[in-house]
A and B are shown apart, each in its own frame.
Chain A
Amino acid sequence: MNNSKDNLSGEESLQIIQEMIRSAKQEQKDNGMGWIVWGWMLFLASALTVINIHLNLVKTYFFWNTFGIATIVMLVLSTIRKNQKKISRVTTYTKEVFNKLNIGFTITLLVIIVAINVSIGPISGFALLTALYGFWVLIYGALFNFKPSIIASYFVWALALAGLFVQTFEWVMIFHGLAVLVGYIIPGHIAYNEFNKSVGRNTKSNIGV
């Protein structure tokens, strides 16, 4: 784009505005990768714990301890990558609010994890964690105007509520795994596909206004 053209027609001006706003809107979208990665990690930890309860191969919480270590490693690696990567950046209002709320989500998550270990125990604890997931899924859906997450959040809450009435850790893990599948993995993959489609559309329409 050059700036030689100062005598724009009304239609041309409108086209530029629409093109740029559409281009900026792309930045308001999320590719769903976070949901997919965390979703599969949580789902695997739940599913393997259920299998282990039957086969008794390792200690009951082995896979959750492994998940905890993997989380720390991932956080360290992502921080290093973020600092090394030099990409063109933009701050949107949506992502700023999302990042701030993410801090609140993480703190609440940690409080519940501590509670699981010191007072309420894993059965009620995982049900409460699931309820927190539901809240986070709803926030994401509302902020990014993403219906699959909004709908999924109600299913996640239903599973969290059901989790409060079961007596065995195995059933809590089954409900937890299902909640992650419905709330994280499925919407995550939908978001990923939609994001890639919109990137394709945007690349095709980006003709250098």
Chain B
Amino acid sequence: MFKELDPILHSQLRLAVMSLLISVKEAEFTFIKEKTNATAGNLSVQVQKLKDAGYIDVTKQFKDNYPLTTCKITKAGVNAFEDYVQVLQDYLKVSKKNA
């Protein structure tokens, strides 16, 4: 029986955000928006959900009078992402066998 995939991560945009952040130290909101081709509003909502789950840290500050939002994956986020990939791998292995 499979472990259930983490519902927080098992969503297109949130998974994309986590996959980006797992590879870097931290990224600005505009960078994530650019890479995921998401709208600012939608991305804000999903980033907030990841923050509420404790998977990412969000820092808001001002630079030259412009708001600057920076996102960084947390230890809990790294663990959740690794678990997600593990379950995904198990699932894909079995799918391959059954095919």
A1 touches B37 (CB 8 A): yes
Any chain A CB within 8 A of the CB of B86? no
Q: B45 — nearest CB in chain A belongs to which residue?
A: A3
B16 touches A91 (CB 8 A): no
Q: Which of A1-36 contact B (CB under 8 A)?
A: 1-6, 8, 10-14, 16-17, 19-21, 23-25, 27-28
A11 with B92, Cβ < 8 A, contacts A2-B38, A27-B24, A89-B31 known:
yes
Any chain A CB within 8 A of the CB of B78? no
Q: B19 — nearest CB in chain A belongs to which residue?
A: A20
**Extra A-B contacts (6), CB below 8 Å, given A3-B12, A14-B92, A17-B15:** A1-B16, A6-B7, A24-B23, A89-B28, A92-B23, A209-B12
B24 touches A24 (CB 8 A): yes
B27 / chain A contacts, CB cutoff of 8 Å: 89-91
Chain A residues near B (Cβ < 8 Å): 1-6, 8, 10-14, 16-17, 19-21, 23-25, 27-28, 86, 88-93, 96, 206, 208-209
B11 touches A93 (CB 8 A): no
A90 touches B31 (CB 8 A): yes
Q: A27 — nearest CB in chain B belongs to which residue?
A: B24
Interface residues on B, range: 35 or more
> In angstroms, how far is the closest chain A Cβ from the Cβ of B12?
5
B20 touches A13 (CB 8 A): no
A3 touches B11 (CB 8 A): yes
In the complex, which of the residues B15, B26, B38 contacts A90, with contact meaning CB atoms closer than 8 Å? B26
Any chain A CB within 8 A of the CB of B60? no
14 contacts between A and B (CB under 8 A): A1-B36, A2-B39, A3-B14, A3-B38, A8-B10, A8-B12, A14-B92, A17-B85, A19-B16, A25-B23, A86-B66, A88-B34, A89-B31, A91-B24
Q: How far is the CA of A5 from the CA of B91 in the complex (A)?
A: 19
B19 touches A17 (CB 8 A): yes
> In angstroms, how far is the closest chain B Cβ from the Cβ of A69?
30
What is the total of A-B residue contacts with beta carbons within 8 Å? 103
Any chain A CB within 8 A of the CB of B98? no
A19 / chain B contacts, CB cutoff of 8 Å: 16, 19
B31 / chain A contacts, CB cutoff of 8 Å: 88-90
A-B pairs, 6 with minimum CB distance: A20-B19, A24-B23, A88-B30, A208-B37, A88-B31, A3-B13
A6 touches B38 (CB 8 A): no
> In angstroms, how far is the closest chain A Cβ from the Cβ of B22?
7
Q: How far is the CA of A5 from the CA of B87 in the complex (A)?
A: 19
B14 / chain A contacts, CB cutoff of 8 Å: 3
> In angstroms, how far is the closest chain A Cβ from the Cβ of B47?
11
A6 with B10, Cβ < 8 A, contacts A11-B92, A16-B15, A25-B23 known:
yes
> In angstroms, how far is the closest chain A Cβ from the Cβ of B87?
9
